[in-house]
Amino acid sequence: MTVGLLLLAIALLLVLRVPVAFAFLGPGLAYLMFTGQSLGLAMRLITNSTASFPLLAVPLFVLLGATANHAGIADRLFDFALALFGKVRGGLGYVSVGVSLGFSWMSGSAVADAAALSKVEIPAMLRNGYSRRFGIGVVGASALIAPVMPPSIPAVIYAGLAAVSTGALFAASVIPALLMAVGLCIVVFIQVRRQPDIVHTGFSWSRLAETGKRVVGPALAPVIILGGILGGYFTPTEAAAVGAFYILVLGFFYRTLHVRDLPKIFAETVMTTAAIMLIVSSASLLGYVLARERIPQQLSELVLGFTDNGTVFLLLVAVLMLILGTVVDPTAVLVLVVPILMPIGLRLDVDPIVLGVLMILSLMIGLLTPPVGTVLYVLSSAVKVPVGEVFKGSLPFIVPLAAICLGIIFFPGMVTWLPNQLGL
């Protein structure tokens, strides 16, 4: 079986909407059988790909996000943000961005963020005169902050694959994530000018004080998690465990979590982690096949023959990630392409941290673009509208995200400044 037939088989399976893990696994196993290799090799490749201490942070961060979701942390953040910005024209749009930004410190998944917040924010916008398309768009785009802002599950995976410091990658992601929030707020400002029927809520100091008290506990979570990592007190894996335990205790203290909720939280964590690890392992098998056929070397020669400029290389990477992100799960893309692109980037003096942040952000935009965009389908299911309608609502909000990708390419200092200041 040639590589061409292998890739054709994978493309056909993806078109038929076969899950990504099995679309990679089936042709990969067929290649091993066709070339006379033992299936025991496949088992070793699959198990070794997930036998990584850095990857242990993934289920713990998933547990952290699931616990925060069930503990009602998003509702507390929403109430506080609404009390703060409710009187501002288009306040619910800014609230959506602000809540996603706050919740992202505890959730490293855009899908989990969109699923949790869409149930609260979109109905509130519809009740207050916002258009359905605007509400869907701002909630979907805001959810993309979660996998960029630390703690980020894609960042943990990239750090393990690229052998770079997870703490440095976390620190490097903070400024781009904050710029994402600013860019989305600018779009909200422009969009709400076209919606004269928006209803404003009143402002009350007493309500602000009351809701502010309710977010003091959740606000300490990022201090514990990121402060522990960046201060050198915890490894990312230890910080994830401490953060999950803290949110669990907080939920019991607030009485929003009960013992009967734990099986559901653990089951959700196991299912999500299993899906991620299955993708990682199947993509690793496919990566072995590509390496055996010398595809990385051929691509390296092709790229280096085209350009020896690091900026041009980053532009090519951004375009490639935007394309792949529309059809393949981001985790699978990272596992496949990081071992290929890292050596090329190093030869062109591209900082691996800059490359990582750019790849993650570019891939996350794919979650809002058809045909595979997972966030599109989550919002479509939540609001009961066609996927095409969700994409139309999201389209204006993709513009500032693409602009930030360009900013990272031409001004990499915006990524490296904070890690350098922290000595990471």
Coil, strand or helix: which one is 225?
A: helix
pLDDT (tens digit, 9 = 90+) per residue, 293-309? 777 777 777 877 788 88
Residue 139 corresponds to which tokens in the numbers above? 């909630």
Lowest mean pLDDT among 153-167, 169-183, 378-392: 378-392
Distances (CA, A) of 247 to 110, 232, 241, 253, 254: 19, 21, 10, 10, 10
Least-confidence region, from 240-244, 371-375, 419-423? 371-375
Residue 1, pLDDT > 60, answer no
Q: What is the mean pLDDT of the chain?
A: 85
DSSP sequence for 174-223: HHHHHHHHHHHHHHHHHHHTT-TTPPPPP--HHHHHHHHHHTHHHHHHHH
Q: Name the pTM for this structure.
A: 0.87
Residue 202 pLDDT exceeds 80: no
